[in-house]
Structure 1
Amino acid sequence: MMPAEQAGAAALLRHLAGAEPIETHVSAVFVGPDTAFKLKKAVALGFLDFSTLAARERFLRRELEINQPAAPALYRDVVPVTRAPDGRLALGGEREVVDWVLRMAPVPPEDFLDAVAARGGLDGSVLDAIADAAFALHAALPPVPGLDAPAELGRVLAGNRQAALAAGLPPARVAALAAAAEATLARLAPLLAARAAAGRVRRCHGDLHLGNLCLLEGRVTPFDALEFDEALATIDTGYDLAFLLMDLDHRVGRAAANRVLNRYVARSGDAGLTAALPVWLSMRALIRAHVLSRAKGPGSGLPYLARAEAMLAPPPPRLVAVGGLQGTGKSRLARGLAPGIGAAPGALVLRSDEIRKRQAGCAPEQRLPAAAYTPEASMAVFRELTDLAAEALHGGHAVIADAAFLRPEERAAIEAARGGAPFTGFWLEAPPEVLRARVAARRGDASDADVAVLAAAAARDPGPITWQRVDAATDPLPAVRNALGLNPDDPC
């Protein structure tokens, strides 16, 4: 419902847009043919207060300020609703200001990514673009120094516990979940503090889910960042990402969330975020549970509450390595395996080709010159691969290492990264003609290997192979899943 004091402004915007508004409990958006007008409702809800004219102006200007850098084609300006001496209302002018409006470009409803997901349109390329957009958003943000990240997250948890109880979710389950999350946060406090000291805490989006991403001019674009509470949005970039991963996992499936996680880490190198994913994902699911319960009744939030509970009971980590010549399908296999292994949203895939591109400052699909493939460069790639694998495993997250592993010392190094986790190595093999055809057909891939590179690699003696040999002439995924003892019903 629109507050009575804003009826006139709403009528003006309805006339200008030629449409009824899209409403939430805090705003109304009037979408016209060439402009969308956003009006904040004059409400005070405890966690936000838009009840005064000055507050609505301040928060609309803040919304413009924090969203325009990532979405310059979407966010235009903030203008007043003014009243003439005869009582008529208009946009702009020097007369009495009665309200404020944010002007934006209109986005077709079908171009919001929750709508794209609902129609099954989040294919691999769109998921990669989602991860790239999240990475670019975070990379552009300056670190916020001096924040006590563990304490701030504890306060967020306490607030959400109270909100969940107030929304009518089962008290015993909420109390047990909060206690488990508090214990996890206490254990992770040194890690969270170290990440803050390393610059991982930034003024983030704060509400990064599929409904706040759209396709604008063909590009995945984040919008509607949280503007009314700086503390809630000044968080670890991993916690910001966790909302998106949780939303993908719930709406689309584990494989979609896993792909976005792995693409994000491939771009950022932040494998360390996986250690805190269980509690971050759980907290994000709890938020969604109490928001839905408050809006639609407690029963609507129960699936998210169950998800929040499950996130805090992850399986132990394991390390899987996938090696073999170019064209054996290592990356395809790794991607197929990852969603069904380990903690949500599945195993972290560390691909040597993607690490090489990141070390060169390039996107995964950008081709590199031969100079990027020196022995020294390759050694740096494998050092980072093993370091990141050890870091993620130590934090409790499963890892799949994807590389050729043509040298015995490379295989030994990845096995040594296991720590105390179980290790399984697979060596993929296929006839030469199959490998040549696959390599020649590759397009838009992180691997720069061509048929000549394949021939040179095939002529090299890899030394004794102790890993499980797998026929990769056809799809090896079923055989490898069986060898790992994965449940056929697990996500894949």
Structure 2
Amino acid sequence: MIPTAQAETAEFLARLSGAVPIETHVSAIFVGRDTAWKLKKALALGFLDFTRLADRERFCRRELELNQPHAPDIYRDVVSITRGEDGRLREGGDGPAVEWLLRMAPIPPEDFLGRVTPDDALLDATADAVAAMHASAPLAEVDSPAVMGAILEGNLPSARNAGLPADRIESWATAARAELGRIAPTLAARDAQGFVCRCHGDLHLGNLCLWHGRPTLFDALEFDETLARIDVGYDLAFLLMDLDLRHGRAAANRVLNRYVARTGDAGIVAGLPLWQSMRAMIRAHVEAARGRDWRALLDAADAHLRPAPPRLVAIGGLQGTGKSTLARALAPTLGRGPGALVLRTDEARKRRFGVAPEHRLPPDAYTETVSRAVHAEVFAMAQTALAAGQAVVLDAVFLDSAQRAAAEHPAQATGQRFDGIWLEAPLGVLQARIRARRDDASDATESVLLRAAAVDPGPITWHRVAADNAAVMNARASLGMDGGSVC
């Protein structure tokens, strides 16, 4: 409900836009044909206070400042509502402001990502947009363990007041505190490594849209710097949790892996169980307070804190055998949510040269020296993720027996299970697949394949799997997996 004190402004905006407002708990958006006007409600809700006109102006300007760099065509300006000489309200004008508004471009309802069923291309583009936003975000100096502890404890009264079951709240709080205590040193180390930024702060699917066909972030959190000066992983975790709940683990896993492919931040997985759980708990009590169904969110909050043993799976084989396809199929069902981290040497090589995975590199990017460095980086990332408790899938040709031996080392170093899968297919099939490739991280050509096929890989001790339509099923059997679970 719009506060009574703003009723006259709301009536004016309804006439101006020709529409009834779309309301959230803190705002009302009046969407016209060419313009949308966003009104901040004159409310005090504990976590924010918009009751003073001067503060509403300040937060309108802060929202514009935060969002315009990433959504310049959506966020236009801040405008005042004034009273004319005739006593009527008007947009702009020279008189004292009666109200302050954000002027924005209208977004078609069907273009909000909360209403879109994303395909792989959209998931990748969404992860790219988040990675780009984080790359440009100002660094912040905070004590992440302390901030996470304050957010955790601060949400417990809200959960109780919203009517969530008391026993579930206390059980969750006990598990969350234990997880925070376990990972606190890692979070502090990430602070020192520069992973804490002025982030979006409210990065769920409802705050992303398709703008000119591209996923675009908007509505960054403007009213609480503590909630926005956070580890980039806590920012991303809201999106991962939301994707997992709405579209399934495979969607969340795809975004995580694309994000890491662009950033190289394998250490992000250390905080994901707690971060996703906290995001789910916060959303659960918010939905409960609105009178909506909260049960799936509370279940998700619990599930993200349940341990699952990590493991390392390496997938090798000639170019075109479908290593990446198999890796993506297996990853969502390996280990804890949102599934295994897929580390692909093709993507690591592109990241090393500062280009997108689909960008083709020249031959000098494929020297032996570069390849050794790429493999070493991927193996180090695998060890980092395994040590943090996340399952990992390595994706590379692994034509050299020394590389295959090195691929096992991260599992040995962390005491985790290792399995290798070697994909095989007739040469003609592989040539046809390479000819059909589009927008792939691999730059392999038929000539590269033929040279590789002429090399003796030595003894293959990994599980040998035919790279055909039954590859996923047979690989799962080789790994001791049944249904959607892991052994």
Question: Do 1:84 and 1:96's aligned partners in 2 also have CA atoms closer than 8 Å?
Answer: no
Residue 293 (str. 1) matches residue 294 (str. 2): no
Q: Which amino acid aligns with 1:55?
A: D
Question: Gapped runs of 5+ residues in structure 2?
Answer: none
Aligned equivalents of 1:88, 1:194: Cα separation in 2? 57
**1:196, CA displacement in angstroms?**
0.6
Structure-2 residue corresponding to 1:391: 384
Q: Which amino acid aligns with 1:31?
A: V
What RMSD, in angstroms, separates the aligned Cα atoms of the two structures?
Answer: 1.0
**1:239, CA displacement in angstroms?**
0.5
Which SS does the other structure have where 2:464 is aligned?
strand
**1:356-406 deviation line (CA, Å, top 9, x unaligned):** 000010000000000100000000100001000000000000000000001
Structure-1 residue corresponding to 2:316: 323
Residue 141 (str. 1) matches residue 134 (str. 2): no
Instruction: Work out which of the residue numbers 347, 355, 372 in structure 1 matches 2:348.
Output: 355
Structure-1 residue corresponding to 2:4: 4
Structure-2 residue corresponding to 1:129: 125
Aligned equivalents of 2:43, 2:185: Cα separation in 1? 40
Question: Do 1:274 and 1:395's aligned partners in 2 also have CA atoms closer than 8 Å?
Answer: yes
Q: Which amino acid aligns with 1:251?
A: R
Aligned equivalents of 1:8, 1:174: Cα separation in 2? 41
Residue 106 (str. 1) matches residue 106 (str. 2): yes
Aligned equivalents of 1:332, 1:475: Cα separation in 2? 12
Structure-2 residue corresponding to 1:248: 243
Which SS does the other structure have where 2:364 is aligned?
helix
Aligned equivalents of 1:253, 1:473: Cα separation in 2? 25
**1:157-183 deviation line (CA, Å, top 9, x unaligned):** 001112111111111111111111111
Q: Which amino acid aligns with 2:127?
A: A
Residue 85 (str. 1) matches residue 85 (str. 2): yes
**1:324-366 deviation line (CA, Å, top 9, x unaligned):** 0001000000000000100100000000100000001000000
1:143-292 paired onto structure 2 within 5 Å: 143-145=139-141, 147-292=142-287
1:464-475 paired onto structure 2 within 5 Å: 464-475=459-470
Structure-2 residue corresponding to 1:413: 406
**1:123, CA displacement in angstroms?**
0.5
Structure-2 residue corresponding to 1:30: 30
**1:197-224 deviation line (CA, Å, top 9, x unaligned):** 1110011000001100000111100000
Q: TM-score, normalised by structure 2?
A: 0.98
Which SS does the other structure have where 2:294 is aligned?
helix
Aligned equivalents of 1:330, 1:348: Cα separation in 2? 14
Is the deviation greater in 213-222 or in 1-10?
A: 1-10
**1:486, CA displacement in angstroms?**
2.0
**1:85, CA displacement in angstroms?**
3.0
Aligned equivalents of 2:372, 2:139: Cα separation in 1? 31
Which SS does the other structure have where 1:487 is aligned?
coil
Q: Which amino acid aligns with 1:351?
A: R
Question: Do 2:123 and 2:251's aligned partners in 1 also have CA atoms closer than 8 Å?
Answer: yes
Q: Which amino acid aligns with 2:121?
A: S
Aligned equivalents of 1:257, 1:24: Cα separation in 2? 26
Residue 305 (str. 1) matches residue 298 (str. 2): yes
Question: Do 1:338 and 1:346's aligned partners in 2 also have CA atoms closer than 8 Å?
Answer: yes
Aligned equivalents of 1:329, 1:214: Cα separation in 2? 32
**1:4, CA displacement in angstroms?**
1.5
Q: Which amino acid aligns with 1:173?
A: R
Which SS does the other structure have where 1:296 is aligned?
coil
Structure-2 residue corresponding to 1:95: 95
Residue 376 (str. 1) matches residue 369 (str. 2): yes
Aligned equivalents of 1:422, 1:482: Cα separation in 2? 16
Which SS does the other structure have where 1:417 is aligned?
helix
Aligned equivalents of 2:303, 2:189: Cα separation in 1? 26
**1:250-297 deviation line (CA, Å, top 9, x unaligned):** 000000000000000000000101011111111011011101010015
Structure-2 residue corresponding to 1:434: 429
Question: Do 2:318 and 2:397's aligned partners in 1 also have CA atoms closer than 8 Å?
Answer: yes
Structure-1 residue corresponding to 2:475: 480
Aligned equivalents of 1:223, 1:368: Cα separation in 2? 33
Which SS does the other structure have where 1:87 is aligned?
coil
Aligned equivalents of 2:36, 2:197: Cα separation in 1? 29
**1:96, CA displacement in angstroms?**
2.2
Aligned equivalents of 1:170, 1:37: Cα separation in 2? 38
Q: Which amino acid aligns with 2:87?
A: G
Aligned equivalents of 2:469, 2:22: Cα separation in 1? 50
Question: Do 1:341 and 1:398's aligned partners in 2 also have CA atoms closer than 8 Å?
Answer: yes
**1:13-64 deviation line (CA, Å, top 9, x unaligned):** 1112111110112110001111000001111111111111111101111110
Question: Do 2:81 and 2:92's aligned partners in 1 also have CA atoms closer than 8 Å?
Answer: yes
Which SS does the other structure have where 1:393 is aligned?
helix
Aligned equivalents of 2:96, 2:420: Cα separation in 1? 73
Question: Do 2:318 and 2:452's aligned partners in 1 also have CA atoms closer than 8 Å?
Answer: yes
Aligned equivalents of 1:489, 1:375: Cα separation in 2? 39
**1:120-144 deviation line (CA, Å, top 9, x unaligned):** x300000101101110110111211
Aligned equivalents of 1:440, 1:25: Cα separation in 2? 53
Aligned equivalents of 2:188, 2:31: Cα separation in 1? 43
Aligned equivalents of 1:473, 1:14: Cα separation in 2? 60
**1:490, CA displacement in angstroms?**
4.3
Q: Which amino acid aligns with 2:306?
A: A
Superposed structure 1 runs of 4+ greater than 6 Å apart? none
Q: Which amino acid aligns with 2:319?
A: Q
Aligned equivalents of 1:16, 1:103: Cα separation in 2? 13
Q: Which amino acid aligns with 2:295?
A: L
Question: Gapped runs of 5+ residues in structure 1?
Answer: none
Is the deviation greater in 36-45 or in 83-92?
A: 83-92
Q: Which amino acid aligns with 2:65?
A: E
**1:90-133 deviation line (CA, Å, top 9, x unaligned):** 011111210001000111000000111xxxx3000001011011
Question: Do 2:463 and 2:478's aligned partners in 1 also have CA atoms closer than 8 Å?
Answer: no
Aligned equivalents of 2:427, 2:382: Cα separation in 1? 31
Residue 115 (str. 1) matches residue 108 (str. 2): no
Instruction: Work out which of the residue numbers 441, 450, 461 in structure 1 matches 2:445.
Output: 450
Question: Do 1:340 and 1:486's aligned partners in 2 also have CA atoms closer than 8 Å?
Answer: no
Question: Do 1:200 and 1:236's aligned partners in 2 also have CA atoms closer than 8 Å?
Answer: yes
